[in-house]
Amino acid sequence: MSYRGLILDFGGVLTTRMRLNGEAFERSENLPPGAYFRALGEHPDGVRAYADLEVGRATQEQWNSVIGHLLGIDSTDLMRRALANLRPEPAIMAAAQRARKAGIKVAMLSNSFGRTPYDPYRELDMYAHFDAVILSEVEGVRKPSPVIYQRTLDALRLTGPECVFVDDHVRNLPPAETLGIRTIHHTTDPAATAAQLDALLDGEVTAAG
């Protein structure tokens, strides 16, 4: 199969691991281990705040306020502090650059963290590296809805079977597969994921090299 498009998740794929970032944030704020993750993933107010942020129903400052209150810490510019240890993942960024150099269209697809007052995509210099940037807050819909995958395909002007999608959450893969997109589950080994991408895109990358 000759692939013409590559779609990459942001947090945990194009970046270093979200779990490690969150643990570092807990240490920096002197929070009990796991407190941040429980606030985001278990407390009803935290779950709602993140879902609303992702689809543009809430601002980043509103998220800051809710999560700061749940954790009992200063909410000022909280998203910036919460993502302070996130870095671009070199192996995946390099694989994306190889694909793009080979003429493959590359998109970043992210369930948004918001962009005001802190824009993590700009902070990590993501915008310049992709043919399309699809953010859930702009689209008003988030992964795993098939709608956002279709909009990503539309932005690339490609069909599902022409594309490969990489995400670190298994639940985000099946809806993409219903559109014919080839999926890769990224785990904790960026080099292994990059090798899978190189193997899938071998013909195009080799030809460009």
pLDDT given at position 203: 56
Q: How far lies 3's CA from each of 56, 81, 101, 113, 200, in Å?
A: 32, 38, 14, 29, 8
Domain boundaries, the chain: 5-16+87-208, 18-82
Q: From 3.30.700.30, 3.20.20.140, 3.40.50.1000, 3.40.50.10680, which CATH number describes the 5-16+87-208 domain?
A: 3.40.50.1000
Beta-bridged to residue 134, according to DSSP, are 109
Query: Model-level pTM?
Result: 0.94
Low-confidence ranges of the chain (pLDDT < 50): 206-207, 209
As a whole number of angstroms, the distance between CA 168 and CA 110 comes to 12
pLDDT given at position 193: 97
pLDDT given at position 206: 46
As a whole number of angstroms, the distance between CA 192 and CA 101 comes to 20
pLDDT given at position 190: 97
State residue 74 phi and psi, 5-degree precision. -60, 130
